[in-house]
Structure 1
Amino acid sequence: MCCSRRRMTTRMGYRDWRWQALWWHIFFLLWSIIHGQTRYSIPEELKQGYVVGNLAKDLDLGLSEIFDRKLRVASEADKQYFTVDAGKGELVVNDRIDREVLCGQSASCVLPLQVVIEDPLQLFRVEVEILDINDNSPKFPSNDVTLDIAESTVVGVRFPLESAIDPDVGSNSLKSYTLSKDECFNIRIKEVAGGRKVPELVLAKILDREKKAVHKLLLTALDGGNPLRSGTSQISINVLDINDNVPAFEKPLYKVSINENAVEGAMIVQTKATDMDDGLNGEIEYTFGAHTSESVLSIFNVDSVSGTISLQGKLDFELTPNYEIDICAKDKGSPRMEGHCTVHVEVLDVNDNAPEIIVTSHPKPVPENAPDGTVVALISARDLDSGDNGKVTLQLQKKSRFSLRPSFNQNYALVTSGILDRESVSELNIEITATDSGSPPLSSQTIIPVIITDVNDNPPVFTQSSYNVYLKENGVPGSILYSVSASDLDFGENAKISYSILDSKVQDVSVSSYVYINSDNGSIYSMHSFDYEKLKVFQIQVLAKDQGSPSLSSNATVHVFILDQNDNAPAVIYPSSAAMGSLSHQRMPRPAKAGHLVTKVTAVDADSGHNAWISYKLTEATDASLFTVNLYTGEVRTKRAVSEQDDSSQRLLIEIRDDGEPAQSSTVTVSILLEDGLHEPILDLRQKVAEPSKKNGRIALYLILSLASVSVLSLLTFLILAVKCIRNSRSSGSCCMRRSDCDDYKNPNRNLQIQLNADGPIKYVEVLGGDMLSQSHSFRSCMSPMSEYSDFTLIKPSSTTDFKEVISVLDASLPDSTWTFESQQVGK
């Protein structure tokens, strides 16, 4: 320090730098956040901007760290007396510093500062010692003092005078008093508790009122500063006659202790003085000294008769730990004589202040995957009480995910000590309880809110693992098929989901050629219309992916089943000429009887289910009474025997209609020629059979050989079909359902065939029914890959008609038939 500007920078424990280095090394291992303590010394009353010290250099920080890591200074004082020059890293004065205002007359005046550095959090403790300068002159409470002293006062009697007050400390404080020259009086300095100097006026020579009734003295108070400062007080002494005995106290000093929570009216001490005079000159009245401060008068009371001092106000150890009370005993003589004593009152601390929790740095958001020991906030604790009453311990709630790591001087770091999950709790209110060691102990609580930030630890989850979508064929391209939805428990970008379709093949074509998906909402649209006759079922793998880093994903399967629509009219396959669009010509014998089979019209429908159920109807005929068409088989038979009157050329228009909605139909025209000659060979044969012939045996042999050949061919055909059926059932998993025969008319060879097909992991079943040569009816079912060998589940018919309704329709149409079910084991 040079003249009025002096800066002194020291490190705690600087006397031995080796021990200091070892201490710092151990302390750094204990807690890496608190790095050191730096101390500066500066004089008071410095101008704003005065450089206290190079903080960056003393804390081993680079200038870039000052700005990048957001260095700031936190002071426990009411004002921010210091700030940091971010460009130079210097600690500079920010506001006027008056040592007397900050620390009063305390011997040491230290401003503790906490230097907080963010990212990562670090805490440095800096102490700035404020040095006193001689900026205050000693000052007396009053500039004029009047004393009445009897002329009979004996030599050596002391009269206490007002003490001068100098707010400065140390060498700048009050040092001595001087008194102007007077042959009757001199000055003596008395030191009382606390080192305070009290001047006393001492009578050096007997007064003689007749020679000099008034003495004028000048009392000067001097401090030890450089330059020297002083203050004066004028003392006027009136010399009085008579009453030559002064009241005298039993003790010049009374010492007493009292708790700060003592109630009003409590007795503190009883003072007692005596006067050797008689009468009024010996009657004593107790009062406070003339220079007693207002703070004492507001708290204490003295009984004027008994001299008892009692409490009339509230004590506070934290404000004033002790009092020096001047008690005056005056007699009632003329002139009045007085004696003085001092009462020293020590205020005892009681635990009347709850501890405080101070958050040094605001809590930072913590990621949910933060490791144990992550610093969240820096806090400190303090208690205005002293001793055990001021010892504070901090405690967190039970089962807390955080803990407190102590540092120095009741400073702590709040750190993580458990698993955090933002999806369970996104914000935690950490309650910290501070308890002192008093009896009874006092406590206080504070809540520190900590925000848990999200990390991408949850993949998107679909509402279903698989979806079944039923889509009618011939739909409009671009129409929506289905909307899948996934949710993500994370937050922000980690919860934003985009949808896409994984590439796969459908009939050797990429699935993206069939559908596309809206990446934002999961809506799936068709690229073109579908044809049930070409594609019945396919699957889509949808991927849901979040926007986190790294991103997480999951997928779901969408099974798309194409539903058949009645978009195909029945096609005639027999007679073949009718199928080609030309007229079908048929011939029949004129002698035909009723029920004669003329021909059979056979048609097929590319649709399935109800849309493929075919019925035949005779709409026009040359003679409607001659022919009939079977509704289900398409067989054209005669309703009656043909007569000679019937035209030889008959024309029939047969309508073939399916059972779809709306129904599709086609027509076939059959031309029938009635011929007489077709019966003549039969008649001749009958006549020849009736006649015995030599060739009968040969004909019978031919017939037997023909029947045997037909039987062998039928048996071979049956065996071949059986082997083929077994092979097909092993490869494709098929089963058959047919009706048992009842009679030729009621059993039109109707069959139900259940065919198992596969598309990837999806197995679906088509149920086909109809005559052997005419119509087919189709149902569809879905078989799970996890199904047992002989199980299948009917998911939905190809059309809107229920499967039970189909069976009921078939049963209603052929009531005398019975259904049997033959199943072959179906492998996956």
Structure 2
Amino acid sequence: MELTAMSWKHEDHDRRLHSNSDKGDGSVKYILTGEGAGTIFIIDDTTGDIHSTKSLDREQKTHYVLHAQAIDRRTNKPLEPESEFIIKVQDINDNAPKFTDGPYIVTVPEMSEMGTSVLQVTATDADDPTYGNSARVVYSILQGQPYFSVDPKTGVIRTALHNMDREAREHYSVVIQAKDMAGQVGGLSGSTTVNITLTDVNDNPPRFPQKHYQLYVPESAQVGSAVGKIKANDADTGSNADMKYTIINGDGSGVFSISTDKETREGILSLKKPLNYEKKKSYTLNIEGANTHLDFRFSHLGPFKDVTMLKIIVGDVDEPPLFTMPSYVMEVYENAKIGTPVGTVTAQDPDAANSLVRYFIDHNTEEDRYFTIDASTGTIKTAKIFDREETPWYNITVAASEIDNPGLVSHVPVGVRILDVNDNPPELARDYDVVVCENAKPGQVIQTITATDKDNSANGARFHFSLDEGLSLNPNFTLRNNEDNTASILTRRRRYSRTTQDTYYLPVLISDGGVPPLSSSSTLTIRVCACERDGRVRTCHAEAFLSSAGLSTGALIAILLCIVILLVFSLAIVVLFITLRRSKKEPLIISEEDVRENVVTYDDEGGGEEDTEAFDITALRNPSAAEELKYRRDVRPEAKPVSRHHLSSSLDSIDVQEFIKQRLAEADLDPSVPPYDSLQTYAYEGHRSEAGSISSLDSTTTHSDQDYNYLGDWGPEFKKLAELYGEIESERTT
């Protein structure tokens, strides 16, 4: 069986298969299998005729693949091999062209050149484009002529007129048709709508509706306020209609200004300076309105601006009095008496009536009650006494009204400056805490002071410092005026002692440079403090000497141990004195041969003050006692030192042990001298000896050349003791 591809038209229903083995006796049976067999396609198994059960649609399926076989009806054996054949569905023009994207909305600028492309539309046809003209589409315009045209092959829509004006017509509705069969009769067609809008370009200049305008403005209009509006029309829209208004000339260009409202595109006329009907009753302005965005393609349609003239009529109003100055500044001295004139304000009625004016002060604050004003003349006078240091400036408000129309009131600020007089003496700038170190040197600056004066610089800028001339010369401190509104406190002697006096009072006299000058006296409190070598204050409290001396703990223990040893040794000497006094006196020198031995039996008393190897007792004394001090109390008297008992003229009646006890008690009770001495280092040598003494102390019969001043206040006492010891030794040797 020979089978080939066959075509099947849309309206066909029958096709036939035939085998060469078929003799027409019905012994051959035809079988059909494949796509659509038994559903879309059925076969007559005797004749081989193929029938379709329904219409075929090429747009859904273009072909079907089927298999046919001829078999022996009796044996069901194939008479021929299975054959494959293809049924092709042949196209017919059963689909109209369609616009899948319509309707369209598009814009094109107005004034575009003819033939400007607007949009390209495309229609599709589902028919077979390879078979006949079923899918061949051509375009035509059904609506929109003569403004637009369409290319029949490409579907491109173009403008058909030159310089289409948006202001004349803005919106267009164009209908485009697509027809298959190349546009022939009988072809199918479809259509779509294209909505075209002309966009604006700046092709219209602004225009004022009138060439002359007139505006009324009262003279009472406030500066900065809007007094009128003006507008130029522009047929364009958006930014093409934006404009700016300008006053190009006229006698009112300095009095008025104009600005543009961007929302309404109006010119807002404002007042720059106050109006005065009595001086000028009208103004003329030439106002220009011009586009801000220009399109040079249409510059030949310009100029894109327009000018109009505006006449402004000034209206007369009854105005309040006008002060001759916008504000006043006056001055008065703080010691002025009540009723003293301060100054005068002046106001006039600006209207032609020139009504009389009365003045008064607005008593809104307490400051206003310090002044009064003459209602007729405007003279301001004082009503209270002023104190510049409390209130240096007063601000009051003076009002003026017309007598004929009291409701019209104007105000003016008046500032009154209170001038200074020298009525405040200078004072120390602060409470100074002045400290002087115990180890201070003469001429050392211990404090710099300054002063303040409540008066202004004209009466208190120059200060002079001095000590109170009514007091005697101060031996402890002095004052140096630095000639720069400061003064320095200086020491006058070397070394100070807290144990002797821990506080000094220094009266200082301060005077200013005012007229007349004023002065005041202040007292500085100066504390004596222990300081480090670099001048840092260590302590200012009155403490024991050893603590204030700044010695280390080891040094303090060593010194105390020495004191204990000296006290014990002194007690032993006292006991020895008593014992020797009661014992039998033996000749000191037995023979000349024994002089050396007798000499060495005495304790070593040293070589006096020339003996540099001897024990130096000054290391145990208070350094402040190294020199003889004459203290002065500047304000309060100094506590008197404990009086010392004088030696009796009769040396025979003195008990040495009692004498030493008295000296110890005096040393302990004396606040100016530490309780250190070397009295205990001298041994009791017994009663006086006529042979004299080998001690370094001379007897009373001869005057010693020894200088005992190095012992301080105890020098004279030790000299007397030396004389006493000489007498005692003379007695002993006798």
**Please, what TM-score do these two structures have when normalized by structure 1?**
0.32
The structure whose residues are more often strand, as a share, is 1
